[in-house]
Structure 1
Amino acid sequence: MTTTPETAAYPQHDEGVAPGTAASLREAMNRLLSGRPQRTDGRLVKDNLWKEAKVSRATMNRATRIMAEWDARVADCDGVTPSEARKNAELITLRTKLAEKTRECTELHHRLDAAATAIAALHHDNTLLRQELDHSGQLVSLAAHRSGRTRNQDPPLIGPC
């Protein structure tokens, strides 16, 4: 690379940018990768890297070694920050619990349907038995039976207290 009067005022490091700029980019990269951004939303995108480092996009692009390191480190973590990884793990846990509760609810719904069917069948049988008893003999209400009376008896006399 040749030095012109315009670039002589800004000495270049072997990384393609000034040493201070390279340090800023590396610090920004480390903050983003560790999930501790200061100036961005923390997503692992190059747009956040240059903003986090407080340099221009063009300056960031000149730092070819740092950009190669960025690409490799982002690929190593699948582009997911630690906080995103925690959220993803929590999401998986919650989805598993939801599926379990859905299965449990379905099971209880089936049991409720079976109980309702059994109750309806018992009610029907009870109605038929009452009708049969009414045609074949005398039907005595439970209240009368408990008090010792039947339909044909007069109510007991109750005197003054």
Structure 2
Amino acid sequence: MTITPDHPAAPTQDEGVPPRTAVALREAMDRLLAGRPQRIDGRLVKDDLWKEAGVSRAAMNRAHRVMADWNTRVTECGGMTPGEARKNDELTQLRAKLAERTRECALLNHRLDAAGPAIAALHHDNTLLRQEFDQTGILVTLDTRRTQPP
């Protein structure tokens, strides 16, 4: 949005600064809030506002209406530019995925811990059965039966 001195929303001298300064501040505010700064890194802080507008900090501080609008608009957007908001949303989603994967890993580790003793007990039973069959009868290993064609 470009505001010119003859525009109905143009600032007046009662702004505390010349109209040209107020226009520069408002245009800088619009660029910063849209995430398209031209002169600075784009954080939503007053220090970046006056630098983006190309005015002095003192001039920015005298622009009471602009600063009131700045405070309102920064509060409305949570103090984040659109890019920061996207990154924040992505980070939130990634943290949720990480938490889910961590829960899955914990569950699988519990299952693995429970399977160890069961496997050991089955191996022990299998060894005892093999010894028993070895003494009393014929033991056919599965490996030889698997390799023979039907």
How far does residue 140 in structure 1 lie from its aligned partner after superposition?
Answer: 5.0
Tell me if the contact between 2:133 and 2:139 (Cα under 8 Å) persists in the aligned partners: no
1:63-142 pair list within 5 angstroms: 63-134=63-134, 136-137=135-136, 140=139, 142=141
Moved segments of 4+, more than 6 Å: none
- CA 1:142–1:75 in structure 2 vs 1: closer, same or farther (change >3 Å)? closer
Inter-partner Cα distance in structure 1 for 2:133 and 2:65: 97
Match of 1:26 in 2: 26
- CA RMSD, aligned part only? 2.2
2:16 aligns with 16
Q: 1:58 to 1:119 in 2, by over 3 A?
A: same
- For 1:38-66, what per-residue CA distance to the aligned partner results, in whole angstroms no more than 9, with x for missing partners? 11111111000000001111111111111
TM norm structure 2: 0.78
**1:10-45 deviations in whole A, cap 9, x for unaligned?**
xx8221111111110000001111111111111111
Percent identity of equivalent pairs: 68
Q: Which runs of 5+ in 1 are unaligned?
A: 1-11, 147-161
The answer for the alignment partner of 2:7 in structure 1 is none
Rg: which structure is higher?
A: 1
Q: Shift of residue 120 of structure 1?
A: 0.9
Per the TM alignment, residue 118 of structure 1 is displaced from its structure 2 partner at its CA by 2.0
> Could you tell me how far apart the structure 1 residues matched to 2:85 and 2:47 are?
21
TM-score, normalised by the number of residues in structure 1: 0.73
SS at the partner of 2:43? coil
Q: Tell me which protein shows more helix as a share of its residues.
A: 2
Cα deviation 1:50-98 (Å, max 9, x = unaligned): 0000111111111111111111111122211111111111111111111
